[in-house]
Amino acid sequence: MYNTGMRKFVFGLVLILIFSGSSSPAAFWDNTPVQIMQDEALNPVETTPSRLVRVGIGTNGFKTYEWDGATIYATGEYEVYNNKTYIGTFDGNNDVVVSMVGNIFVLKDSQGEVIEKVSGPIIFKTDFGFVGVKGLKRAGHDAVYRGQLELISNRNGKFHIVNQLELEDYLKGVVPNEMPVSFGLEALKAQAVAARNYVLSPRVKANPNYDVVDSVASQVYFGADTEKELSNRAVNETSGIVAIYDWNLILAQYSSTAGGYTESFANAFSDPVTKKFPSDEKPYLVAKPDYDNTEPLYDEDAAFEFYSKKHKSYDVKSPYYRWIREWNGQEIQDAVQANIASQSATGFVTPAVKKGETIGYIQELKVKRRGASGKIMELEIVTDDLTYTVQKELVIRRLLTKDGKALPSANVVFEHEYDEDGNLIYIKASGGGFGHGVGLSQFGAGYMGTELHKSFDEILKHYYSNIALATEPDSVFPSKRDSKRVFYSKDKKANLVIDNSHKNRYINVNINGADFKAELDTTERYNVLDISEYLKKGLNGITLHFPENKGGIRYYVEICR
């Protein structure tokens, strides 16, 4: 990331070499072990607890995240608490039925006997399996979860169910549900890094009680019973690795299929607070074609040529690489009329249309502005009465439905037909891609990994510009003298990147149990120190100890290939 020349550590005496602890696969609820790794990829390293993630659990079909009752169980012995107060221990054959009276939780056993009446939150946790919600299904399986379940009153007679668990365990329930394991290990590893970034720095927090939800509204998380061996391996082999830009975690947007050309963040998303559109640019989320000889698709002719044909692309295996939607005159009229009031409520339809108001007869869909990928940013709905201006790809997609379904993407061009009286009788939409098309394309990642034999870091650096793959940046300073990071290294190559703006002379470092003293170049703000020779294949631990009463030191470990 920085042009500072590479320098080797000036290491002091190795004081101690210690290893403790080990990693072993957990067991599924049916006691069948998940065979994650069978090689040295999980070297024993003294690890620190993972970051905790709080996931809002929805009902079947994700109809709501507010529950009025639930039956909680576990696959082994489990404990129940009212906040921090112990209620009781139950075996795996005894469920707890939870309902609410006002804002009070009523807990009953399987025979209907009242166990307790408490204000909550109610916490269910086990060291002997998984916890679950009776009758809740995910991907055809009973939904069971690592970590613990919390039931939190929302003060209107209902409650939220929150799964709190460690970050890496959460990712094991995300990756195989966001990407087919048939896409291969390298694509799954790219997905794991993107998903790790996504949950650590969500664009918006889902709810005060939880960080993300378990549906496509955040990223798909279906719990422990949907884990797969290969996707668990992908999570383990990227453990501790995130994508950063300028010392910050990136917002790792991803979608199913970009259509051969990703779009810039600003051209697809509005500011979540101010509603500004286009939003501010993110320099790592910029429009990029799969192949460099593709020119930007700002004008109608270029967009039509690209999306009406199948060009060479990483997305060619997606069923949504290219698609067509067709309406007769009445169908497009009905679709727009049915959706325009709800989409107007977003603030991106001008003039606004209220529920019950009718629009004039549609004469044309006129594209006024496209992004570099050809994605529509601004569309005019021309009627015989008024012209309505519609902004943002998601609003446009949800406005122009076919058989009740939104357009797969806003990478689309239109062809119109009229009768002899000039009335619109037919519209054909030719498009490419599925989703917002910003950042990583999942089908593209699969193609790059399996067909082009690209590594996960090459995949990520294609879709996210000018990033580093690294540990999450942290600092040490007089009041926080220690910082530890654990990360996976396949090739035993990494650099310790230090921001030494306060001109400290050295830093004490421990790598995999060995203590060193690293001299720092005080004439350079950024020191890049090659630590490759001290790494092992698999998990590595690094701890920085602040030695001087000067200003703080920021750092991260950049994974190199």
The model's pLDDT over 366-417, given as tens digits with 9 standing for 90+, comes to: 999 999 999 999 999 999 999 999 999 999 999 999 999 999 999 999 999 9
Higher pLDDT, 373 or 202: 373
CA distances from 144 to 36, 53, 73, 138, 462 (A): 19, 16, 9, 9, 36
**pLDDT > 90 in the chain, percent:** 83
Task: Say which range, 135-139, 190-194, 491-495, 549-553, has the weakest mean pLDDT.
Answer: 549-553
Averaged pLDDT, 156-178: 96
Q: What is the pLDDT of residue 43?
A: 41
Q: What is the pLDDT of residue 24?
A: 25
Does 192 have pLDDT greater than 60?
A: yes
Question: Domain 7-20+470-559, what architecture?
Answer: Sandwich (2.60)
Does 428 have pLDDT greater than 70?
A: yes
Query: Using one digit for the tens of pLDDT, what is the confidence trace for 335-358?
Result: 999 999 999 999 999 999 999 999
In sequence order, which ranges of 345-433 are alpha helices (DSSP H)? 393-399
Q: What is the pLDDT of residue 39?
A: 34
Ranges of each domain in the chain: 7-20+470-559, 68-157, 323-431
Tell me if 449 sits within 8 A of 273, measured CB to CB.
no
Query: Using one digit for the tens of pLDDT, what is the confidence trace for 282-295?
Result: 999 999 999 988 99
Q: What is the pLDDT of residue 274?
A: 94
Computed over every residue of the chain, the mean pLDDT equals 90
Q: What is the pLDDT of residue 50?
A: 67
Cα–Cα distance for residue pair 116/98, rounded to 1 Å: 10
Six-digit token string for 439: 């950042």
Tell me if 476 sits within 8 A of 531, measured CB to CB.
no
Six-digit token string for 347: 């603030």
Q: What is the pLDDT of residue 155?
A: 78
In sequence order, which ranges of 201-324 are alpha helices (DSSP H)? 229-236, 300-307
Among positive and negative, which fits the CA dihedral 224, 227, 229, 230? negative
**Could you tell me which residues come within 8 angstroms of residue 230 by beta carbon, excluding any fewer than 6 positions away?**
176, 181, 185, 188
Cα–Cα distance for residue pair 71/443, rounded to 1 Å: 38
Q: What is the pLDDT of residue 278?
A: 97
Query: Using one digit for the tens of pLDDT, what is the confidence trace for 25-78?
Result: 222 222 233 333 333 333 444 444 568 999 999 999 999 999 999 999 999 999
Cα–Cα distance for residue pair 188/238, rounded to 1 Å: 10
Query: Using one digit for the tens of pLDDT, what is the confidence trace for 257-270?
Result: 999 999 999 999 99
Q: What is the pLDDT of residue 523?
A: 95
Q: Which amino acid is at 391?
A: Q
Q: What is the pLDDT of residue 348?
A: 98
Averaged pLDDT, 436-458: 98
Query: 92 pLDDT band (50/70/90 cuts)?
Result: confident
Q: Of the segments 14-23, 139-148, 455-464, which one has the largest average pLDDT value? A: 455-464
Token look-up 């990703």 returns 262
DSSP code string of 453-492: ---HHHHHHHHSTT-EEEPPPEEEBTTB-EEEEEEEESSS
Query: Using one digit for the tens of pLDDT, what is the confidence trace for 292-334?
Result: 889 999 999 999 999 999 999 999 999 999 999 999 999 999 9
Averaged pLDDT, 154-163: 92
Query: 549 pLDDT band (50/70/90 cuts)?
Result: low
Query: 561 pLDDT band (50/70/90 cuts)?
Result: confident
> Which secondary-structure segment (H or E) carries 529?
strand 526-530
Q: What is the pLDDT of residue 560?
A: 85
Sheet bearing 506-511, strands edge to edge: 482-489, 538-545, 506-511, 514-519
Candidates 223, 219, 199, 193; CA nearest to 211 is: 199
Among positive and negative, which fits the CA dihedral 128, 134, 137, 142? positive
Six-digit token string for 427: 């519209």
Does 420 have pLDDT greater than 90?
A: yes
Token look-up 């990223």 returns 219
Q: Up-side HSE of residue 560: CA atoms within 13 Å toward CB?
A: 17
Q: What is the pLDDT of residue 141?
A: 87
